Amino acid sequence: MSLQEPQLFGQRTLIGLIGVGAIAFMVMAGLLISGDADRWKPVTAASAGSKSAVGYRAFIEVMRELKMPLGTPSTAELRRSSLQIVLDPKEPSELHTILASSTWRPVLVVLPKWQAYSAPFSDEVVSVHLRDVKGVEALAHEVAPDIEVVRPAQAGPWRVDGVEGTPTLREPQLVRSPALCPLVSSEQGILIGRLCAKPWIAVLSDADLLANHNLWRGDNAVLAISTVSKLRSGAGPVIALEAVTAAPPARSIWRLALTPPFVLITFSAAIAALVALWSAAIRFGPAVADEVERPPGVMPLIEMAVRLLRVGLDGGRLLRRYADLLTLDLGRRLHAPRGLQRVADIGAWLDATRRGGRVGARYADLANEVDQIEQQKKPSATAAVATALRLHGWREDLLNGR
């Protein structure tokens, strides 16, 4: 009788699990190949914390190195701010809300210039193009309704009023409006200007002045810091405001795991974990009962005889093993003293007690026969079978008296 391995799942359950896995794989592959294109749109890369070319991380770090107080856009910080810098506004309504709530608090509006995209969950810019002029003008009209955005091939010479440094810009973006009092301007237009009627509101027409890729050129850093110092009012913090949509994607591994398309991998991993737990559930509960040991009766004798006839040269060793197992079994069944551990000692105890046997065979005699057969180079299979038969008769005599 051979032992059977425990079956973890039934055939129908196993087929069902394979089918669910195949369907999940096909759905995941289909979503990855033909998913909604909007999901794969890159995110805007320009933000105060971005290290990309069009980000403003360098500008923020320069202010921090110069010990300028920087604040966060919380309600308490906004109330005591000395300057609010609106970076890369997205919607006119958003800019309108900021300007309406900043009465008598200085605000610098940085008009966007570039539409930059980065790959999902990355800060690396993969594509950049100029924004539509009409879209930039729509934002600028929240500052003054008659502002016109112009993009001359070059600008200069620059006129500076109240600030230090001259800008170095390629493909400058400037504004024109009678409502603006210029701080930095040229014949082509105004780069930095204040509202003449509301001098606490200023506009920077070209975001390249503050961007990482251009801040280090010429006097751009000097002009940027000088402008911030010029516009500040009081000793409160300088706060960089940016649209929620401009925030870089979260880098939390847990949020990433629940965001498409990675949520498909998370779902597949969860299903695999549940199946693994299900298959391991057989380890709990009562222990599996051991297979009942078959008593060494006539059937084992027949099996032993067949094996002795087949093994040839190894018949003596196999016969020795059969004799030892038979003796140990008799010692267990007839309650031999616990101190007897060796097979020879148990055999001597069986010979001494005899237990009412009538056959007359003794362990010592049978052990000698086994020794002789084991020592032969070519033991006779017939003699080995005959000795095995006498061992079986000796066992039956001691157990049953027959």
Q: For residue range 252-301, what is the model confidence (pLDDT) as tens digits?
A: 677 767 776 677 778 778 887 887 777 666 555 555 555 544 445 566 66
- The answer on 308 and 184 residing in a single domain is no
325: pLDDT strictly greater than 80: yes
Distance CA 290, CA 297 (A): 20
Q: Is residue 213 part of a domain?
A: yes
Q: Is the peptide bond before 42 cis (omega within 30 degrees of 0)?
A: no
Higher pLDDT pick, 372 / 203? 203
- The answer on 156 and 53 residing in a single domain is yes
Q: Is residue 156 part of a domain?
A: yes
Q: Is residue 379 part of a domain?
A: yes
- The answer on 332 and 195 residing in a single domain is no
Backbone angles phi, psi at 29, to 5 degrees: -65, -40
Query: pLDDT for 300-321, tens place per residue?
Result: 666 666 666 666 556 677 778 8
Q: Is residue 291 part of a domain?
A: no
- The answer on 332 and 198 residing in a single domain is no
Predicted pLDDT of residue 79: 84
Mean pLDDT of 350-374: 74
Predicted pLDDT of residue 349: 86
Q: Is residue 14 part of a domain?
A: no
**In what order do the strands lie in the sheet containing 125-130?**
43-44, 114-118, 125-130
- The answer on 376 and 244 residing in a single domain is no
Predicted pLDDT of residue 231: 93
Query: pLDDT for 102-161, tens place per residue?
Result: 778 899 999 999 887 766 555 567 778 888 999 999 999 999 999 999 999 888 799 999
| Residue 41: CB atoms within 10 Å | 9
Higher pLDDT pick, 89 / 206? 206
| Residue 211: CB atoms within 10 Å | 25
Least confident of 197-201, 205-209, 366-370, 374-378: 374-378
- The answer on 213 and 351 residing in a single domain is no
The model's pTM: 0.54
Predicted pLDDT of residue 305: 67
Predicted pLDDT of residue 247: 42
- The answer on 319 and 218 residing in a single domain is no
Tell me 163's DSSP state.
Answer: S
Q: Which of 224, 211, 225 is CA-nearest to residue 56?
A: 211
- The answer on 104 and 172 residing in a single domain is yes
| Three-state SS at 225 | helix
Helices (H) and strands (E) in the chain, counts: 13, 13
Distance CA 39, CA 113 (A): 25
Backbone angles phi, psi at 358, to 5 degrees: -120, -5
- The answer on 126 and 47 residing in a single domain is yes
59: pLDDT strictly greater than 70: yes
Q: Is residue 335 part of a domain?
A: yes
Query: pLDDT for 159-191, tens place per residue?
Result: 999 899 999 998 899 999 999 999 999 999 999
| Three-state SS at 7 | coil
For the chain, what is the domain count? 2
**For the chain, what is the mean pLDDT?**
79
CATH number at residue 165: 3.40.50
Query: Residue 322 is part of which domain span?
Result: 298-400
Higher pLDDT pick, 305 / 20? 20
Predicted pLDDT of residue 235: 86
